[in-house]
Structure 1
């Protein structure tokens, strides 16, 4: 019998019995035994004689039937034959009876071939794991989100402990998560004790090591250690190398780092891990020879249910989208507004996605007002109040079973939010942004998309959409021995048009294009280092030339660029070394030299205070220099320099969040009238200063109460801390290397402390708050330092001692990320 194709089936099935019966099944309408038998027979036919898409339709029928009627025999038979071992093993374990037949005993024993520690792999997962560990070649591992790529990466590391290894991750949050996973691993009698997460943790004497770094930190490590070469690189979320736009600095930087690594060790093994790459050859970088082998698994263990509802234009009908027929079915359910829908359709754990952090804060506030139940959270409230501020809005949200998560929150608060959302059953909603796309793992049964965009004007791409919805119902939740449920094989995805969605947005078209079963992932290549030169336009060719020239000045003789220009002055070389890209270093070199010489002629002493430091940065790097970046150009203005001088001074004495918030509140109390229009930029702006303003860039504090001002202060502090960390500190490093800054003062600015032991803790990845906490006399017996090697060893018993001393639980929580528990 020839294979039936999806498109042919669609034509033949219009207005057929199958279409009406399938609609009954998925909408949970009344259906007869004969009709069920017909659907099951059709499912078997699809599974055996249909194309891949029809096989997925047949599978969906089995899953929906099994969950609806609690009859898992058909699904069990299929799972055994298809190699969906986690499903068949779960069904077997939940229906355990005395195995009295040969076949039952045989299949039970067969399952054990797929056991990995305490869980079971599918045939596809096992294939991926074996492929990943079978070779030292350059590999590309492509598998859906929540498919266990993190476990594959960890297994690869454990099998190569004699090598110099780096896992490249896209964010600091994923860095902390990966480090924690590694420290919790053991093999035989070996326990991982140390993971390098910062360039300054590298001692230079290691014959082998494990590191987890962002591309920025890895580049810094390579620049500080010109002889260092690595053996094994594992690039997580590797599709990020394609870039979101043609001048995506982080994507270009990732490619540059790979080029340097390959130049230093031609035999290096590069492994790329991603949920969605259409053609693995698109990962090849033009400046290096890179032969790749790929394994792509497209198992369909989960089968999504897509719901849409237009709550903006008064339609309010909940519809179910069928990705196989590309039709929308009316559920005959209506909702008054977004809150009515969320509170009636929610499950135990729910993700709400929004594009803008400002909208996340707004929705959390509004949703909180709609929830009547209030939970006792004395312990959590005390912890957050003590760590940051009693008036932090997050506290009241948690009382209503809501948390939010975005880049405007302190890093440890974000990690703590992920932790309490996972731990506490009463917290049912997490409202979050695209930070969730970066591999963050949290339990959730449903996801509600209140926005279909990522960034300013761009809709979620196919890969971003599928990556996002793949965060729901991870395998570890579905197949959990105690709490698992095969109904989670049907993740519920809601795409909702509401006030946070553009009025002209067509969510039906969006869902049809993204979720239709034959919808294909495309690699949108924006990184000029991955593109063929002949395909570049004039602007892209200029970006490519600058990227290669920058790389040559960082790592000479690395590219095929003809006649590259090498800067000659120390200051220009240091600008390249510190990855300064706010201006063209090459064309600005002459002016930089002149500015530096002028500054030195006027300099009476070494810089030892924040005011002189900021003024030096402005005088040397910005005077008569064409700045590309509007963020750094703010320092051209004297009031801005005074403001950042204050922030740097706070940083130098490691001021706490509470101190900084209080300072903001006191300062705002002195303002009157229009001075209370506070600049916050495009991300948080809701007000305009005058009618001539093109965009709202301000928040008017005149109508804000104390709790609201506290939250605005927290947002401002986090934004400005990031600006200092990622923008300003580069210039401070250059000034230090030019020996213009007092060493003790530089340590205070860079680390927030001049204490040697505290600095060692900071170099090993500890936050300043935690470092100050545990570097106290009562913990001396539990911590030992090697001042020569910048090493610290911590006895795990410190956790219980900190608990006995009633230390803040966020600090105790953070410390667990740094300790290896045997």
Structure 2
């Protein structure tokens, strides 16, 4: 909302009749016939004002909101139909005709229906006029760089498939860059379902010299492919492209992928997709880039915002006038949630541990559901495959599931699948794992914590409610879902003392937010434009300078061994573990030649963690990563040695039981403090290495009961898997690349086996544990590769899958077509 629009809207709120009638319409009070005509006439004036100057989109938004509210409240769909037809909101017009909501002349109706069918896409969905024009121009242009900006749920992902289809059989090396593992799996399954007649790759080591493939990668995997193979990408899709603007290490890596591929293949195409970006030029890495932009400005959904305050008052917020309307008082949180629950409800919280706590509290609020065979089966599966004391099992009795990034990937994805599939599961409690492109059937949102949610993040979160396919892709009249219900629930337990969410709510007055560019590799980066305290800005400037120097360093050809090793440390991300990378460079230079050419017996015989400690940690004072620094302790190294070599071959429930036993051993040995990081840590822990620690990163296992230990074990396994994957493995790969360990050692620690067939399967996404289980079940020979070298099941494996439980079947079907 531009300042001129905001000023006009505010002045409208001072016009007594409009203010009062609009307030009645907003809160759902009955309007007198004269007031109905008045408010519709006001909507017409706002449309004319927009037509006079189309920069002022808020007038059109306001007119649409008035007409939508009126039509839904009085079941008079003629105004909404007329607006939808004339404004190009064709899915709404089609829904009105299909459901017989508009009693017009039969001939006019048939002609209108025929006209609307012209605006279908390749998936047979009817698009808005703006969406149809933007997607058509996007698909038909040949610009080297394109950007498609549209609200959440406006079909950006399907455009990736449509773009690839247009290539036909032309050999192309295609990569789709996604920010998270969950989105990687979802995108991979979408591409696999589309049957695009190409090899699909989800791991850099699946590449085998092909000149035509579709890779679905995180930026880390894309960089490894470019660094280790003589190849490049012809087409780069950057999904959730607004992540490029952030200032974290993963955003730097994302910009590095794009820049490096441009050097390797100057004619490559880059296609950006985002629901949150305001200006495509914010993505430029260099001033000479010309990014073609295709923008959808209008959203057919207009959220209704409610707030439960600490004083137990309920208020409704209207973003157009910036007004709040008191609805009720004396309302408890429990009663509020129950009264406002829909069919599928999302309760948002921030920290994983608070997500679990809120899920438990929710189960005390909502009654138990009628047990069904499918929910009972799910409970049995989680009991057998995870643990009988897993919190999620008891929650199922209330139709509740919880999700966060510290659950093991397979468990999280399985619960996501079951939440979508089972109508009995009415509630999902989650954090930001749901924000990045994940598709859920949510019709009501409760926000219990607003930490880190700024304007764009709030819009993205709210955009998850009532995705368009749940409105227009279903039978019956679901047009009321165009007004998604969003509830801000003030509370001191999950938000803050004196919780006051109205300040966050006020951000929603506008739908347009300036891009805040924190990535120092982007051309428009300006540290002075960032809103942060002076002292923080000075510290950030040091970080920015180092990042820019490192990226420039990578563009130069290494002149010395020192340069080569430093470049490797930057490329691999190992450099982030040290405040003075030159110190580790000197250590590697001094030790690696002998270890590679004439390794002493103690080095050859040493376990992997001992080798990592010797080369990367010993006598190095500049280790800045607290997790890595823990490997200086023998007990920690022994723990990870066992975790890597033994745990990855076991089933999930076996690993959880082993982890519980380890917890109890620590308690019995009077060494009950366990590192859990900031997401679960409850207290600081002072050691000789950490004097006066300021962060709560440890948990005292001695004060936990058995059920709490079980659920700590579940999240600890995920934490350890991430630590191994994202940190320890970087050291192992470097040792292998510099010929400091053998191929057998590398395979054993990275893949858990030296069996070439099993290694090949793990490269296709199958876990070591699943490969072992398939072997035990005699099913490895029932896996085959199709003509494009994609893994698929034989009919015999399909038959076998009908005999196993749903969890095992789900695990296999994630990667095997």
Under a length normalisation based on structure 1, what TM-score does the superposition of the two structures give?
0.90
Output the CA distance in 1 between the equivalents of 2:365 and 2:109.
Answer: 51
Alignment match of 1:473 (pick from 458, 461, 466): 466
Does residue 604 of structure 1 match 2:607? no
Matches of 2:444 and 2:182, distance apart in 1: 23
1:792 and 1:5 mapped to 2: Cα distance? 54
Change over 3 Å in CA distance of 1:533–1:713 after alignment to 2: closer
Q: Does 1:654 align with 2:649?
A: yes
1:347 and 1:710 mapped to 2: Cα distance?
Answer: 32
Distance 1:567 1:531 in 2: 31
Structure 1: distance between partners of 2:418 and 2:112: 39
Gaps of 5+ in 1: 455-459, 558-563
Conserved in 1, the CA contact under 8 Å of 2:68 and 2:80? yes
Are 1:172 and 2:181 an aligned pair? yes
Write out per-residue CA displacement over residues 95-147 of structure 1, whole angstroms, 9 at most, x where no aligned residue: 18999644222211111111123321111221221122122211111111111
CA shift at 1:487, angstroms? 0.4
Is 1:527 matched up with 2:508?
no
User: In the superposition, relative to structure 1, how do residues 347 and 333 fare at CA in structure 2: closer, same or farther (>3 Å)?
Assistant: farther
What is the CA–CA distance in structure 1 between the aligned matches of 2:502 and 2:522, rounded to whole Å? 34
Any idea what SS the aligned residue of 2:494 has? coil
When the two chains are superposed, the root-mean-square deviation of aligned CA atoms in Å is 2.8
In structure 2, the CA distance between the partners of 1:585 and 1:135, relative to structure 1 (3 Å rule), is farther
Deviates more, 1:327-336 or 1:72-81: 327-336
Give the distance between the partners of 1:730 and 1:747, measured in 2 at CA: 14
- The structure 2 residue matched to 1:233, chosen from 233, 236, 240, is 236
State the shift of 1:270 in Å.
Answer: 0.8
Counterpart of 1:103? Answer: 108
CA distance in 1 between counterparts of 2:617 and 2:582 reads 15
Contact kept in structure 1, 2:673 and 2:701, CA below 8 Å: yes
Counterpart in the other structure of 1:118:
124
Which digits, 9 at most, give the CA deviation of each residue in 1:412-466, with x for residues without a partner? 1111111111111111111111112211111101111111113xxxxx1211111
**CA 1:424–1:319 in 2, change beyond 3 Å: closer, same or farther?**
same
Q: Which residue, out of 156, 169, 172, partners 2:163?
A: 156
SS at match of 1:727: helix
Aligned residue number for residue 457 of structure 1: none
Residue 631 (structure 1) aligned to one of 605, 627, 630: 627
Query: Which range moves more in the overlay, 693-702 or 395-404?
Result: 693-702
Q: Work out whether residues 345 and 427 of structure 2, in 8 Å CA contact, stay in contact via their aligned partners in 1.
A: yes
2:53: which partner in 1?
none
CA distance in 1 between partners of 2:540 and 2:693 (Å): 32
Q: 447, 459, 463: which one pairs with 2:456? A: 463
Matches within 5 A, 1:348-387: 348-374=343-369, 375-376=371-372, 377-387=375-385
- Structure 1 pair 745–785 and aligned structure 2 pair: CA distance change class (3 A): farther
1:329 aligns with 2:325: yes
- Helix, strand or coil: the match of 2:646? helix
Equivalent residues of 1:595, 1:619 under 8 A apart = no
Residue-by-residue CA offset, 1:15-71 (whole Å, 9 max, x unaligned): 511211121122122322222222222222222234421221111111111111222
**Comparing 343-352 and 738-747, the one that deviates more:** 738-747
Distance of 1:5 and 1:474 partners within structure 2: 28
Compared CA separation, residues 165 and 606, structure 1 to 2 (3 A): same
- Cα gap change, 1:333 to 1:796, in 2 (>3 Å): farther
Q: Is the 8 A contact 2:177 2:236 kept in 1?
A: yes
Q: CA deviation at 1:674?
A: 5.5
1:357 deviates by 0.5
Secondary structure of 2:140's aligned partner: coil
CA distance in 1, matches of 2:414, 2:479: 29
State how 1:558-577 maps to structure 2 within 5 Å: 567-568=561-562, 572=566, 574-577=568-571
Q: Distance in 1 between matches of 2:772 and 2:319?
A: 54
User: TM-score scaled to structure 2, two decimals?
Assistant: 0.90
1:740 is the counterpart of 2:740: yes
Q: Contact 1:757/1:775 (CA < 8 Å) preserved in 2? A: no
Aligned partners of 1:547 and 1:688: how far apart in 2?
30
The aligned counterpart of 2:532 is: none
Q: SS in structure 1 opposite 2:199?
A: coil
Please state if 1:221 is matched with 2:225: yes
Counterpart for residue 801 of structure 1:
799
Structure 2 spans left out of the alignment, 5+ residues:
51-55, 529-536
Tell me the CA shift for residue 565 of structure 1. 6.8
Q: Give the Cα separation in 2 of the matches to 1:414 and 1:490.
A: 29
Q: Which digits, 9 at most, give the CA deviation of each residue in 1:178-205, with x for residues without a partner?
A: 011111114xxxx54632111011111x
CA apart distance, 1:782: 3.4
Greater Cα offset, 690-699 or 366-375 = 690-699
Q: Secondary structure at the match of 1:591?
A: helix
Q: Which residue of structure 2 lines up, in the alignment, with residue 266 of structure 1?
A: 266
Deviation at 1:580, TM superposition (A): 1.7
1:750 matched to which residue of 2?
A: 750
